Structure 1
Amino acid sequence: MRELLRTNDPTVIAFATALLRGEDIDVFEMDVHMSVLEGSIGVLPRRIMVRPEDYFRASTVLRDNDLPVSG
């Protein structure tokens, strides 16, 4: 798995996930349940991961929609 996006903003996560799934790219959200540890204050970022073979296409989709790409 390769990290595509890291953010604290749940709306960015939802938008990016919808865009990628619309392009038939498998998306894996990491750190979703970390709110239990942090107390639901949104300090710890969540990550979107994709398969290495989908990374280039996925990063292009995010950049075309003015979303940040990690790495």
Structure 2
Amino acid sequence: MRSTDPTEIAFASALLSGEGIEVFELDVHMSVLEGSIGILPRRLLVKRTDAFHARTVLRDNDLPVTE
């Protein structure tokens, strides 16, 4: 998943963690480089073995899914 909305990232992370899917957030500290204006998206990564389940959880909750 990729988003510039920090609340969307937090919600998705909580949903996935609640399903027992380990989540790793990338680009968290990029705001230092961009000046905190929110133009660089943050990304959530999951294990390849959890990808199908994670996409299903995100789609069921109307969150953007990156293929």
Q: What TM-score, normalized to structure 2?
A: 0.97
* Cα distance in 2 between the residues matched to 1:39 and 1:68: 25
Structure 1 position 29, deviation (Å):
0.3
Q: Relative contact order: is structure 1 or structure 2 higher (C-alpha 8 Å, sep ≥ 6)?
A: 1
* Cα distance in 1 between the residues matched to 2:3 and 2:40: 8
* Cα distance in 1 between the residues matched to 2:16 and 2:47: 12
Structure 2 unaligned segments of length 5 or more: list them. Answer: none
% same residue: 70
Structure 1 unaligned segments of length 5 or more: list them. Answer: none
Q: What TM-score, normalized to structure 1?
A: 0.92
Q: Give every structure 1 segment of 4 or more consecutive aligned residues whose post-TM-superposition deviation is greater than 6 Å.
A: none
RMSD: 0.5
Aligned positions, number: 67
